[in-house]
Chains A and B, each alone.
Chain A
Amino acid sequence: AQKVTQAQTEISVVEKEDVTLDCVYETRDTTYYLFWYKQPPSGELVFLIRRNSFDEQNEISGRYSWNFQKSTSSFNFTITASQVVDSAVYFCALSVFSTGNTGKLIFGQGTTLQVKP
């Protein structure tokens, strides 16, 4: 079975602070994909990043960076110099393509990030 855990329910920071959102996953499959999605108050899920299990290189995109560590089954997300527009719920998700698994996304419970001016 697959599982995603986001232990932080809510985080509040002041604008320009750095913030890291934690994600821990469980799967027995050797091939899998990890995702981060943003859900602003409007409700639509916005895709941020996808990583496959064979690529542990960290990635940076502007103020966003992701740290994938297979040894600890973690895929953490850092926002540098946070802005008010970063306020949203962030979801980590896992998908597997194997017998009985059709690539459906397994989501964590989400972390609500509030960035105060």
Chain B
Amino acid sequence: GAGVSQSPRYKVAKRGQDVALRCDPISGHVSLFWYQQALGQGPEFLTYFQNEAQLDKSGLPSDRFFAERPEGSVSTLKIQRTQQEDSAVYLCASSLGAQSTEQYFGPGTRLTVT
């Protein structure tokens, strides 16, 4: 596909479970961002990768959140021991270069923690 894809689109987890969210960026895009969007709010930055290097993880809310992009392409956001406050839409975006201003967003994964 030509765009950013994310899977699963919907995830329901019981409190305490671990979840893994996948992002497939546009092929060849160097930069990859993860954002968290709570209901009724704007997206908030979580972490940034340039190729396989995680250059900014200042937005990760706790050490239960972990992200990786081992081969500089697909990225996985993992949340351990999920809590109700983790319920949100998780958006992935990619951009062509390290200084590219235009980010292309995926459809998001809606996580509901019960």
- Interface SS majority for chain A: strand
| Other A-B pairs beyond A42-B107, A47-B104, 5, CB < 8 Å | A43-B108, A50-B102, A102-B56, A107-B44, A110-B40
- A residues apposed to B, CB below 8 Å: 4, 33, 37, 42-45, 47, 50, 52, 91, 93, 95, 97, 102-110
Residues of B with C-beta under 8 A to A110: 40-42
26 A-B pairs in the complex with CB atoms less than 8 angstroms apart? A4-B42, A42-B107, A43-B107, A43-B108, A43-B110, A45-B91, A45-B105, A47-B102, A47-B103, A50-B101, A91-B42, A91-B43, A95-B101, A102-B55, A102-B56, A102-B98, A103-B31, A103-B95, A103-B101, A104-B33, A104-B48, A107-B43, A107-B44, A109-B41, A110-B41, A110-B42
Interface size on B, residues (CB 8 A): 30
Query: Which one of B45, B89, B102, B105 lies within 8 Å of A106 (CB-CB)?
Result: B45
Interface residues of B in 46-95 (CB under 8 A from A): 48, 50, 55-56, 59, 89, 91, 93, 95
Known A50-B101, A50-B102: A109·B33 in contact at CB below 8 Å = no
Among the interface residues A43, A52, A95, which one has the most CB atoms of the partner chain B within 10 A? A43
What A residues does B110 contact at CB under 8 A?
A: 43
Q: Which of A105, A106, A108 contacts B103 (CB 8 A)?
A: A105
Contact across chains for A105 and B102 when beta carbons are under 8 A apart? no
CB <8 Å contact, B33 and A33: no
CB distance from A59 to the nearest CB of B (A): 15
How many angstroms from the CA of A101 to the CA of B33 in the assembled complex? Answer: 13
B-chain residues with CB within 8 Å of residue A47 when the two chains form the complex: 102-105
* A97 vs chain B, min Cβ distance (A): 6
